[in-house]
Amino acid sequence: MVQKIYVTYNQVHKLCQNSAERILDDFKPQLMVAIGGGGYVPARILRSFLKRPGSPNIPIQAIGLSLYESLGSDAVEQPGTKVTRTQWLDLSSLEMANLIGKDILIVDEVDDTRTTLEYAVKELEKDVIEAQKKLGREGEKTRFSIFVLHNKDKAKKGQLPEDVVQGRYLAAQTVGDEWICYPWEATDIDEHDRLSKEQEQK
């Protein structure tokens, strides 16, 4: 039986709030790339806490990557083996040109096997290099950082560049290898919150 952790919207909000100062100080992001669907909500909450007086809101771009696959009748999905792009930035448009020379924060909800994060960093780096060549902007340095709500303390299948792991990676919370139930996945939010409260009281 898989151990489940029920996380509420309030808890997600506070995890983002508590991480914002370090993100501003260490990463100084000028743009966020949210990995859908789990990165959308934290990226939006984070944006409110990353806004500095007199500065514009940090723009959020979205990419869709899918790794999970449902196995039979089990309600708990298992990590798959292949990352599938369901949505990506348009290489020929302003979206990709906007990434060049920026400090970019990639946001997702959970670092489980690290396969999705590895794919996102590698592919975005590759596409930025291609866009730089196309636009003659090879001299501009683009840096990627990562923020996740939860990092699962387990052996990872995916690898991240050493400079990202050492200085540009932040997990708001490190947890064991449990199944995390996020509120945006709940079909009955009251029941979800009740189960979360029940867990806190144990």
Torsion sign (Cα): 181, 182, 188, 191: positive
HSE of 186, CA atoms in CB hemisphere, 13 A: 18
Q: Environment class of residue 61 by beta-carbon count within 10 Å: exposed (0-12), middle (13-18) or buried (19+)?
A: middle
SS3 172: strand
The catalytic residue among 74, 112, 127, 190 is 112
pTM value surpassing 0.75: yes
Judged against a pLDDT cut of 70, whether residue 73 lies above it is answered with no
What is the reported pLDDT for 79?
54
Judged against a pLDDT cut of 90, whether residue 186 lies above it is answered with yes
Q: What is the mean pLDDT of residues 82-89?
A: 80
Compute how many other C-beta atoms are within 10 angstroms of the C-beta atom of residue 184: 15
112 catalytic? Reply is yes
